[in-house]
Amino acid sequence: MDRNTITGLVLIFAILIGYSLWMTPSEEERLANQHRLDSIANVNRINDSVRNIALLEKNKQDSIRNSMTPQDIEETPTSSNNNTNTASKPVVNRDKFGAFANSSVVKNDSPYEIENDLMKIKISPYGGKIVSVLLKEFQTFDTLPLELFDEHATNFGLTFFANNRKIQTNKLYFQASDIKSLKVSGSQKKSFSVKLYTDASDSSYNENSYIEYRYTLTGNDYMLDFDINFVGMEDYLQPGTSYLDLDWNTKLLKLEKHIDRFNGPTIYYKFDGDDVDYLSQSKDDEENLSTHLKWISFKHRFFSSILISKDYFLSANIKSFNAFKDVENNAEIAEKAPGGSYLRSMKANIGLPFTMSKETNIPMAFYFGPNKFNLLKKYDLDFEKEIPLGWGFLSWINRWAVLPVFNFLEGFGWNYGIIILVLTILLKLVLFPIAYKSYKSSAKMRVLKPEIDELGKKFQKKEDAMKKQQATMALYKSAGVNPMAGCVPMLLQFPILIAMFRFFPAAFELRQQSFLWATDLSSYDSIYSWSAHIPLISSFYGNHISLFTLLMTVSTLIYTKMNQDMMGSSQQQMPGMKTMMYLMPLLFLGMFNNYASGLSYYYFLANVITFTQMFLIRKTIDEDKIRAQIELNKKKPKKKASGWQKRLEEAAKQKGYKPKKK
C-alpha cells in the first residue's frame, strides 16, 4: 500500500471516529441559527398587527397574574381522578374557579376511549386530555403493548383568565356530549367531543357556554384532527384576550432496548414556513422560541407524538430533561412507570393566537405513530426531517439513493438480512469503477517503488527534502502517474460509508427484525452479556459482546493484513503506520458494540465483498504491462506542467530551491 493510499485510509478512519463529535451542529451554530430566525421574526412582527396585539395581551395577563395572591393562583384542584374522597361531599371553591366551579368536582372518573384500526386512545374527563396512546401494530422491545405515553405522567390544558381568575382546564372536568366511546375503521371518519361548561347555577350548567375539545378520527390514519372551540364565552374571558397558553407535558416511556446517540428522545419543532430544528438528544436542553411555529414533536427513537397547528403557534417554551429529575427543586427523584420505565420528560408551553367572538375555533391536529420516512413524508409537513439521515450531501444519498433501493427490495418480501446483503452488493457494484481505479493506481505506485527508493538514497540529507520532492514529482510526471489517484477514489467512497452509518440505525424498517442470531437489527446483537461493572471495559465497550461487530472487526483486520502483504516493504516509508492501521479496527470494536447490528452486518459484508474484489482485480492487472506502459510514457514528449505541478515548483522556489537550467 503506497503512502498516499495509507494517508487516505487514515484520514477516513480519523474522520469516522470524530464523526460523532462534528456531525451534530455546535451550540454556537445552533444559537446563531436561532438568532437569525428570531431576527427575521422581529422584522415580520412590525407588520403583523395580530401578533403585536397578542403579545401586548400576554404582558397584560402576566401583570394580572403577578398581582394575584397565592390563594387566587392555587394549583391544587378540589378533587381529581386520582384522589377522590367518595365518603364526603367535596367543597366547591367558587371564589377560585368562578364560572367553572361546578366542573371542579368530579362527576365521572372513567376515561373515554376512541379507537381506529391503528391505535387506541384514552381521553380523561379530568382536563378532557389524551392520557394514553396505544399503537396496535407494535410492541416494545420486551414484548409489552406499545404506549407512547401513559396517564400517570401526562398533562395537557389551556390557561387563560376569566373574570380576573386564572383558569386551568387541566384541573377541571369535561363531559362527553353524547357517546362515551368511539370506534372507526377503514375510510370512516367520526368525531368525539368533550365539553367544559360554565355554571348556570350552583347545581346546573349553561349548555350554551362552553369550551369544547373535538377529536376527529379516521379509521386508517395515525393523524387525528383536534379542534378547540370556544362557544358563548365572550362574557367570561378577559376583554381583548388574543393569546392563550397551552401546556403540553409528558414523560416518554422506554420503547427500545438501547438509545442511539444520534437518534435519541428529544423535541423537534418546525418554524412556520421555515426549517425543522431540535433540542439536544443526549443532555438536558431548552429553547424559548419567539417565532411562529407549525408543529412541535415529542420524539422517541422510532415513534413520535406531534401537535400540529393548522394556522400557526405564536411562540413556545420547550424543554427536554432527565425523566428522574425534579426541575423545580433541582434534585433527582426515583420514579418508574407502571409496567415500564421513563426515558425523558418533555415540556412545551405554547402560545395560541385567539380572536374573541361568539364562536371561536382553534384548529389543530395530532400525529401519533411510527417514524417511517415514506409515511411521514406523505403528510407534506416535513415530519420526515425528524429521521436523522445525515446532513447535506449525506442526507441526499440516503434520501434519493439508498431509501428508494431499500424500499424496492422490500417489495420482494425477503428477510431484512437478505435485503442488506443485496443492497451491499449493489452499492459495491456501483462503486466498482472507483475501486478498480484505486487498485490500478496502487499497482503503478508499486512498479515505481524501486525508483522512488533510489531517489530516497540520493537525497538523504534533511536540507535535500525539497529536491527529493521535486525529483519525485518529475518522475511521476514522466511516467504518467498521478500520485493522488489512489487516495481520491477512496475519499469518494467516504460519503457512502458515512451515509450507511446514519441510515441503518435510523431505519424504522429494521426495528425488531431478526436475522440469524440477531433478534433486532436496529439494536445490538448480544451473544453474551454480564451485569458486573468492569472499569474502562464497561464504559468503552459495554457489558455484552455483539457478534456482528466482532466479525466486522476481524474482517477489517484481515483486510489490513492483506493490504500489508500485497504492498510488501512499502510500509517502511512510514514508521508506526503499520501499528496505526491495526489499531483502528480495535477502536471500532468498542465504538460499534452498542450500535445497530444491521450496521455492523453491512460493514462486515462490505469487507467480505472487498476481499473478493481485490482478488479478482489483482488477477486482471498485469504489472509487467503497466511497467512497459510507464517506460513508454517516459519516452513521450513532455506535456505542459499542470497547475498543481506549477504550484509545487513555485513553492520550491519560495523555499530557496532553484532547479538546474537545461
Burial class (CB in 10 A: 0-12, 13-18, 19+), 120: middle
Other residues' Cβ atoms within 10 Å of the Cβ of residue 635: 7
Residue 42, pLDDT > 50, answer no
- 246/654 Cα distance (integer angstroms): 68
At 18, the pLDDT band (50, 70, 90 cuts) reads low
Other residues' Cβ atoms within 10 Å of the Cβ of residue 448: 21
Side-chain-side CA neighbours of 579 within 13 Å: the count stands at 2
Higher pLDDT, 547 or 577: 547
Per this entry, what is the length of the chain? 662
Strands 315-322 and 342-353: antiparallel
SS3 344: strand
pLDDT at 302: 94
pLDDT tens digit sequence for 605-620: 998 998 888 888 877 7
Side-chain-side CA neighbours of 550 within 13 Å: the count stands at 8
pLDDT at 281: 86
Note whether 207 and 197 are within 8 A (CB). yes
pLDDT tens digit sequence for 368-404: 999 999 999 999 999 999 999 888 888 888 888 899 9
Least confident stretch, 101-115, 210-224, 285-299: 101-115
Note whether 446 and 504 are within 8 A (CB). no
Domains of the chain (ranges; CATH) run 3-20+400-645 (no CATH), 24-389 (2.70.98.90)
Ramachandran assignment for 164, one of left (phi > 0), alpha (psi -120 to 50 degrees), beta (any other): left
- 566/582 Cα distance (integer angstroms): 16
Helix locations, 459-576, DSSP H: 465-479, 487-506, 537-540, 547-567
Residue 305, pLDDT > 90, answer yes
- 308/269 Cα distance (integer angstroms): 10
- Residue closest to 578 by CA, chosen among 587, 569, 591: 569
Note whether 557 and 585 are within 8 A (CB). yes
CA 446 to chain centre: 45
At 456, the pLDDT band (50, 70, 90 cuts) reads confident
Residue 43: all three cell numbers together: 422584522
Radius of gyration of the chain (CA): 33
Helix (H) or strand (E) holding 306: strand 303-313
Residue 49: all three cell numbers together: 398587527
Summarize the confidence of residues 490-514 as an average pLDDT.
86
- Residue closest to 161 by CA, chosen among 261, 256, 59: 59
Greatest Cα pair distance in the chain: 112
Average pLDDT over the chain, rounded to whole? 78
pLDDT tens digit sequence for 325-354: 544 444 444 444 444 588 889 999 999 999
Residue with cell 540520493: 458
Residue with cell 364560572: 99
